[in-house]
Amino acid sequence: MGRLQNKVALITGTGGGQGRAAALRFAREGAIVVGCDFVAAGHEETAALMQAEGFTLYGSAPVDLGDHEQAKAWIDAAVAEHGRIDILYNNASAAKFGLVHELSIEDWHYTIRNEIDLLFYTTKYAWLHLAEQRGVIINVSSTAAWGGSKAAGISAHSAAKGAVVSFTRQLAVEGAAVGVRAVSISPGFIATPGTRPFLENREVRAMLLDGVLMDRPGEPEEVVNLAVFIASDEASFITGSDFVIDGGLLAV
């Protein structure tokens, strides 16, 4: 029996990277996985990978979680089909980068919308269902919440991910009375389809990994390993915490 046996897990951003790894791993641990993604093709590829292992990826795509009506519809459809929500894994995000004096107003709002607004919407609409199950919320933040970057202009990204950590702490406070746990995860540089091209350039790779004690990027599965533990009953005394998984970046 898996660590998440028969739990209904809603995972955002299942079209690739950490979201795809999470969908596969949670299913292997016995969860009923409901996913969504802004890109339909990626979501369908994940569904095919899961089907090849005998699993089903529920949910739909494309879904724009930055639109509160679409976020609500996704949550409502999951409850209508499966009757409950045990885990909400807020993984999806998108950001624009640039030095603060060059970053456009549009790019600032794009980042806030797609890294914190969408997380609020899914949480808001899933909250009462999670309370019924004494469920858990996992919010994906970033080491950008804890430190700046000399490699890129991350002001909007940092602001949004810092908000994710703070938002999670408040969720833990409000959730304690109804049995809902809330935890955030702050990954460092993770190798995904979107970031791997940067790693192919030796100079860019060195800059991105500067200060990472393990001298390599993390893999999506390494983040998901932590998420599985947090989502499981083994982590029943953990709430309000932020877990950094960064290869030692913030240690120096």
Dihedral class, residue 62 (left if φ above 0, else alpha if ψ from -120 to 50, else beta): beta
Which contiguous run of DSSP H or E holds residue 209?
none
Which of 110-119, 173-182, 188-197 is predicted least confidently? 188-197
Residue 150 — pLDDT band, cuts 50, 70, 90? confident
Domains of the chain are: 8-246 (3.40.50.720)
Q: What is the mean pLDDT of residues 108-116?
A: 98
Torsion sign across C-alpha atoms 136, 158, 148, 16: positive
The mean predicted confidence, pLDDT, of the chain is 96
- 36 near 60, Cβ under 8 Å? yes
Mean pLDDT of all residues in 194-210: 82
Task: Please report the pLDDT score of residue 204 as a whole number.
Answer: 80
Work out the burial of residue 63: count CB atoms within 10 Å of its CB; fewer than 13 is exposed, 13-18 middle, 19 or more buried.
Answer: buried
Q: Calculate the dihedral angle through the C-alpha atoms of 205, 211, 214, 217, rounding to the nearest 10 degrees.
A: -40
Q: What is the pLDDT of residue 138?
A: 99
Res 196 pLDDT > 80: no
Q: Average pLDDT of 208-236? A: 96
* pLDDT value of position 193: 78
| Whole-model pTM over 0.75 | yes
Give percent above pLDDT 90 in the chain. 90
Q: Is the pLDDT of residue 198 over 90?
A: no
φ, ψ for residue 134, nearest 5 deg: 55, 55
Segment 19-58, tens digit of pLDDT: 999 999 999 999 999 999 999 999 999 999 999 999 999 9
> Does pLDDT of 112 surpass 90?
yes
For residue range 62-74, list pLDDT tens digits in order. Answer: 999 999 999 999 9
Please report which confidence band the pLDDT of residue 152 belongs to, taking 50, 70 and 90 as the band edges: confident
Please check the confidence at residue 228 and state whether its pLDDT lies above 90.
Answer: yes
Look at residue 114 in the predicted model and tell me its pLDDT. 98
